[in-house]
Structure 1
Amino acid sequence: MLKFKSLQFLCKDGENDFMAITSSSLHNDRLDLKINTDGDVFTVTVTSNETITIQKMYAEFEFTYNEDDKIFLNGYQSWTDSIEHGIHDKMRGISHIPSAIREKYAFSQYGDYNFSDYRENMHGWTYAYVRRDDTYYFIGSLAENTGFTQIITLPEKNIIAVQKDCSGLEINGEWCALKVMLTEGGEDEVFDRYFDTLGVPPRYGAKPVFGYTSWYNHYQDIDEAALSDDLMSLNSLSAKPEVFQIDDGWQTAVGDWLSVDANKFPNGMKTAADNIKQAGMIPGIWLAPFVCEENSDIFINKKEWLLTNDDLEYVRGGSNWSGFYALDIYNEEVREYIRNVINIVTNDWGYKLLKLDFLYAACIIPRSDKTRGQIMSEAMEFLRECAGDALILGCGVPLASAFGKVDYCRIGCDVSLDWNDKPHMRLMHRERISTRNSILNTVFRRQLDHRAFLSDPDVFLLRPCNISMSEEKRCCLAEINALMGSVLFTSDNFFDYTETEIKELSKILKIRDAKIISADIDDDKLTLRFKIGEKKYIKTYNI
């Protein structure tokens, strides 16, 4: 159903522009452009015998849409909303937000707003599909390490387009410009085929985990006493969690990872890890290795470590904490610092699970010799090398760069203590905090679990206190996380549980081996069909 139509290629050689719109390979005295279709894999390769600057690489494929088709377009990074759409739906960027607010909170840095066109068409990254009943018309990139691949749907033209994020890339020699799989079939059939061809299975030895993380109970207000109380509360459970993860708040500033807040943790982070191990669990800890906040010693005293743009301005990562900035991962001092931090955290302190967050910051700015996709791929390879045998839970990362490199990966935004935040917050960027959005990402990125990595849908929260969600919504969150994710974490203190929450917890632990048959959303009704053993179930949730 997907048939190649044409390719647009634009490059610059010194002061000269070269543009081609073609449906076949080209050759001139400066470069070769080869277009090849081998089975269901479409490839474009550019070879130049001198330095050229790529400005555009864009291919169109004919596809006839039906009115009832559902379109899925994978969002830019972990937190970006990613759901099935109707063919006439639109995506909203951030242009509707007043510029002063956009600048103050650096909303553009969290997603793809600086290098994507949100005016007309819907788009996504790496993989997408059009679903017609139970048939999936699938397109997925096989070369994200040379540059991220944007997939654009144009129903009014009966076109699906792919575009390489490569503007400004200088090449001399051979470059894989596009490599995409175009296939159709049932859900499992197309996703199995894609990941088999991609050749990046989940890391050997990664297993589904049940655990605790401190964030959604204490946020940054953690200390030894609070975590000790939460650790003790786990004794009230018949099912023992495997992981106890300490989240943000233990360090004096984001970026200063070897400077522990002594007021909160007077006995240090090794003692905290030892206490977790003595309780029979894997110690986990949160880090954001590619960023530092304004209040950090790194930002104040190591300006040469910061990533800069073409105007030599420091590159903001967003507005969290005191405001934060990206580090230059190609600065050897930065790399040595990160290596040393991870070595101390894992080997000296004893943490065996690393939640590595805000990873997208590494590739906010492309280089003349590297695309964002190449930078992010190399950044994730570097982290994998540093971590050794420690488990990595990736978060805030363009997902393709994490395929096969992390043990676990977040597939949605942060949940909230309410359902869908205040109305004015819903007008913010696509990566905003939202329990509803988190659930929908879990549903519509469900196919990544056990194929790319083991999926982390973020926490469930069943506690009846310190939360604004109704019991119905809390159960919805817990059940969907258990059905479709392999990381089943909570931030609840189990001393808060009544008999009602204990029964619900027991229930969700029993449905973790379910097989999802289908998921459909109609307005605010989410209908799931799944199997547990040989028994089939249908469940409808008010979303």
Structure 2
Amino acid sequence: MLEFRNIKFVYMAEGKIFSVTTDKTAKNKRVKLTVENEDGIISARIDSVTPIKLLRLSAEFGYDFKSISRIFLNGYQTWTESFEHTPAGKMRGIDHIPKPLQDKYVFSAYGDYGFTRYSTKRGAMHGFSYGYIRNYDSYDFIGSLNEDSGFTVIRTDCSEGKVMAFKECKDLEIESEYEGLHLYIGKGSEDEVFDKWFSLMGIKALTAPNITGYTSWYRHYQDINEEKLGADLEALNGGDIFQIDDGWQTAVGDWLSVDKQKFPEGMKVIADRIRDKGYIPGIWMAPFVCEKDSVMFAEHPDWLLKDENGQPVKAGSNWSGQYALDTENEEFREHLRLVFDTAVNEWGYGLLKLDFLYAACILPRKNKTRGQLMAEAMEFLREISGDAMILGCGVPLASAFGRVEYCRIGTDVSLDWDDKPYMRLMHRERVSTRNTVMDSVFRRQLNGRAFGNDPDVYMLRDTENTMTEAQRRCLAEINALTGKVLFTSDNEDSYGEFQTKLKEEMLALREAKIISAELNGREMILRIRQNGEIIIKTYDL
């Protein structure tokens, strides 16, 4: 079990640095550090009567790592690779990538590379919000009970027998109470520790049924229009959702400007057609970014998030280059209200896929942490979405707990299995079917507790992809086993005997449950309970 050792608190006041390491409450004339440790709940709260700047707040635990131990540490956001490691595991940042490539593709914006230290030491790994050490079927769990006050970075140093939890609050300025660390330390079976964690957080997943359907992205990418989507709508054989992805707008950020060459009748007409076919219409937006070639970028520079030098903050390299928007700007917030009101109430879309959400917390403020900014942004999206369902994507997962009906829990799939060899050397958020299969398996516990998991699409078609039949089967079965969302981008008119049979088998797995998962080199072994029987499935990754 994780053995609590101490809290370390470092702060600056009046230009001087003060530090204390303790396992109990401590105070001086400026500040009080309240430490509590009871029944697996550990907290470190700060009360300051004068202005101070936080430099560090962390908890240290001892742990006896064994060769059989398997370590899971949740990645920073949706797309960050997240799977179990051995005590000799390592996580690679982006320092090995040539600086010109880093700058060109803005890799640092997608993950935690700009504010989290990556170690080259084996067994020195990190994650966000929660993690566990598994010894066979016994879980030693650590999870934050409040990420809204700031994200929690969990680190291991296996050779030193240490686990540490850091509140991501460096340089936060406070002059009153700050909750700080609030952790649950548990031991038990998988269901026992995850059920207890969510119970202690007081979070219940929003009502969200299992859904199936179609999304345009992995068939057409941005090359969509009324004719193509009309053909795919006619070919769809049952389901709940027909979701239009990126490509309907004239530019990212200009959500009220429909591309009339592609959709001359506008977005309401196609939504009506989708409903007439018996499906809920869905639409894609990235509300917290705009691209450089957008009207928004040109006409509303005051809506852009600025760094300390007054320069717009890049949020990635997609499209013509994307920039983060200031979620605290009232004019921008009012604009988003209008956008969402139009999409939901005027056009009639019942599912909003909201993407690249990490941009809301890409730059902390002096008075707000990344976790605070992300939580407030997600609350705002929940408010302005009205009765529409939200499918979140590209988001630090804990900020989406209980705030969205569905959430992507892995990186994007690809038209191949694991991209080109040189791409495997890139950032941890890279596109990879292989990686998203592992993400889905090792984040499966969130399904139905935090939200409905979306493991991304399955692809059964023979055309326009290079995956083998075994790889397509693996993707389809894992998606059915781990998610409430089961989408495809296939035109089902193209299905032959293999695809039809595999789809039936995939749907039959939706009521099955993964009992355990093991990575053994490039092999993944699952124990599954289906119809009262235990089945072993092995996949070559």
TM-score (norm 2): 0.99
For 1:59 and 1:188, the matched residues in 2 are separated by 25
Q: Which residue of the other structure, out of 344, 354, 357, is the alignment partner of 2:355? A: 357
List structure 1 runs of 4+ shifted beyond 2 angstroms: none
> Could you say what secondary structure the match of 1:146 adopts?
coil
Residue 26 of structure 2 is aligned to residue 26 of structure 1 = yes
Name the structure 2 match of 1:220.
Answer: 222
Residue 71 of structure 2 is aligned to residue 76 of structure 1 = no
Deviation digits for residues 382-402 of structure 1 (CA, Å, limit 9, x no counterpart): 000000111000000000000
Name the structure 2 match of 1:442.
Answer: 440
Q: Which residue of the other structure, out of 144, 147, 166, is the alignment partner of 1:144? A: 147
Task: Tell which deviates more after alignment, 7-16 or 470-479.
Answer: 7-16
Amino acid at match of 1:433: V
Name the structure 2 match of 1:117.
Answer: 117
Amino acid at match of 1:78: T
Name the structure 1 match of 2:341.
Answer: 343
Amino acid at match of 1:268: G
Amino acid at match of 2:233: L
5 Å matches for 1:280-295? 280-295=278-293
Q: Which residue of the other structure, out of 505, 513, 516, is the alignment partner of 1:515? A: 513
Deviation digits for residues 258-290 of structure 1 (CA, Å, limit 9, x no counterpart): 000000000000001001000000000000000
For 1:182 and 1:21, the matched residues in 2 are separated by 20
Number of residues of Structure 1 aligned to a counterpart in Structure 2: 538
Deviation digits for residues 76-126 of structure 1 (CA, Å, limit 9, x no counterpart): 000000000000111000000000000010000000001111024200000
Deviation digits for residues 122-171 of structure 1 (CA, Å, limit 9, x no counterpart): 00000000000110000000010000000001111111100011111011
Residue 162 of structure 2 is aligned to residue 159 of structure 1 = yes
> Could you say what secondary structure the match of 1:369 adopts?
coil
For 1:484 and 1:327, the matched residues in 2 are separated by 33
> Could you say what secondary structure the match of 1:84 adopts?
coil
Deviation digits for residues 490-512 of structure 1 (CA, Å, limit 9, x no counterpart): 00001111121011111111110
Residue 130 of structure 2 is aligned to residue 127 of structure 1 = yes
Name the structure 2 match of 1:369.
Answer: 367
For 2:310 and 2:521, the matched residues in 1 are separated by 47
For 1:192 and 1:23, the matched residues in 2 are separated by 28
1:536 to partner: Cα distance: 1.8
Amino acid at match of 2:440: T
Q: Which residue of the other structure, out of 257, 270, 273, is the alignment partner of 1:272? A: 270
Name the structure 2 match of 1:207.
Answer: 209
> Could you say what secondary structure the match of 1:86 adopts?
coil
For 2:52 and 2:528, the matched residues in 1 are separated by 52
1:2 to partner: Cα distance: 1.5
> Could you say what secondary structure the match of 2:345 adopts?
helix
Q: In the alignment, is the contact (CA less than 8 A) between 2:7 and 2:44 conserved in 1?
A: no
1:531 to partner: Cα distance: 1.3
Name the structure 1 match of 2:177.
Answer: 174
5 Å matches for 1:311-322? 311-322=309-320
5 Å matches for 1:27-46? 27-46=27-46
For 2:523 and 2:517, the matched residues in 1 are separated by 10
> Could you say what secondary structure the match of 2:390 adopts?
strand
1:38 to partner: Cα distance: 2.0
Deviation digits for residues 55-83 of structure 1 (CA, Å, limit 9, x no counterpart): 11111011111121000000000000000
Q: In the alignment, is the contact (CA less than 8 A) between 2:305 and 2:312 conserved in 1?
A: yes
1:19 to partner: Cα distance: 1.2
TM-score (norm 1): 0.98
For 1:352 and 1:95, the matched residues in 2 are separated by 42
Name the structure 2 match of 1:379.
Answer: 377
> Could you say what secondary structure the match of 1:144 adopts?
coil
Name the structure 2 match of 1:531.
Answer: 529
Task: Tell which deviates more after alignment, 359-368 or 526-535.
Answer: 526-535
Q: In the alignment, is the contact (CA less than 8 A) between 2:350 and 2:388 conserved in 1?
A: yes
Name the structure 1 match of 2:476.
Answer: 478
Name the structure 2 match of 1:97.
Answer: 97
Deviation digits for residues 154-190 of structure 1 (CA, Å, limit 9, x no counterpart): 1111111000111110111111110000010001110
For 2:210 and 2:37, the matched residues in 1 are separated by 38
1:254 to partner: Cα distance: 0.2
Deviation digits for residues 206-232 of structure 1 (CA, Å, limit 9, x no counterpart): 111001000000000000000000001
For 2:201 and 2:506, the matched residues in 1 are separated by 33
5 Å matches for 1:181-200? 181-200=184-203
Q: Which residue of the other structure, out of 216, 228, 231, is the alignment partner of 1:229? A: 231
Amino acid at match of 1:215: W
Name the structure 2 match of 1:327.
Answer: 325
Amino acid at match of 2:38: D
For 1:358 and 1:476, the matched residues in 2 are separated by 27
Name the structure 1 match of 2:17.
Answer: 17
For 1:323 and 1:534, the matched residues in 2 are separated by 51
1:14 to partner: Cα distance: 2.5
Task: Tell which deviates more after alignment, 140-149 or 527-536.
Answer: 527-536
1:23 to partner: Cα distance: 2.2
Q: In the alignment, is the contact (CA less than 8 A) between 2:219 and 2:489 conserved in 1?
A: yes
Deviation digits for residues 183-209 of structure 1 (CA, Å, limit 9, x no counterpart): 1000111001101111111113x1110
Deviation digits for residues 369-426 of structure 1 (CA, Å, limit 9, x no counterpart): 1000000000000000000111000000000000000000000000000000000000
> Could you say what secondary structure the match of 1:512 adopts?
helix
**Structure 1: runs of 5+ lacking an equivalent:** none
For 2:383 and 2:300, the matched residues in 1 are separated by 24
For 1:265 and 1:114, the matched residues in 2 are separated by 40
> Could you say what secondary structure the match of 2:49 adopts?
strand
1:4 to partner: Cα distance: 1.4
CA RMSD of aligned residues (A): 0.7
Name the structure 2 match of 1:259.
Answer: 257
Amino acid at match of 1:62: G
Amino acid at match of 1:128: G
For 1:531 and 1:48, the matched residues in 2 are separated by 52
For 1:293 and 1:473, the matched residues in 2 are separated by 35
Amino acid at match of 1:130: I
For 2:149 and 2:231, the matched residues in 1 are separated by 48
Task: Tell which deviates more after alignment, 505-514 or 371-380.
Answer: 505-514
> Could you say what secondary structure the match of 2:510 adopts?
coil
For 2:143 and 2:290, the matched residues in 1 are separated by 34
Deviation digits for residues 224-257 of structure 1 (CA, Å, limit 9, x no counterpart): 00000000101xx3xx110000000000000000
1:533 to partner: Cα distance: 1.9
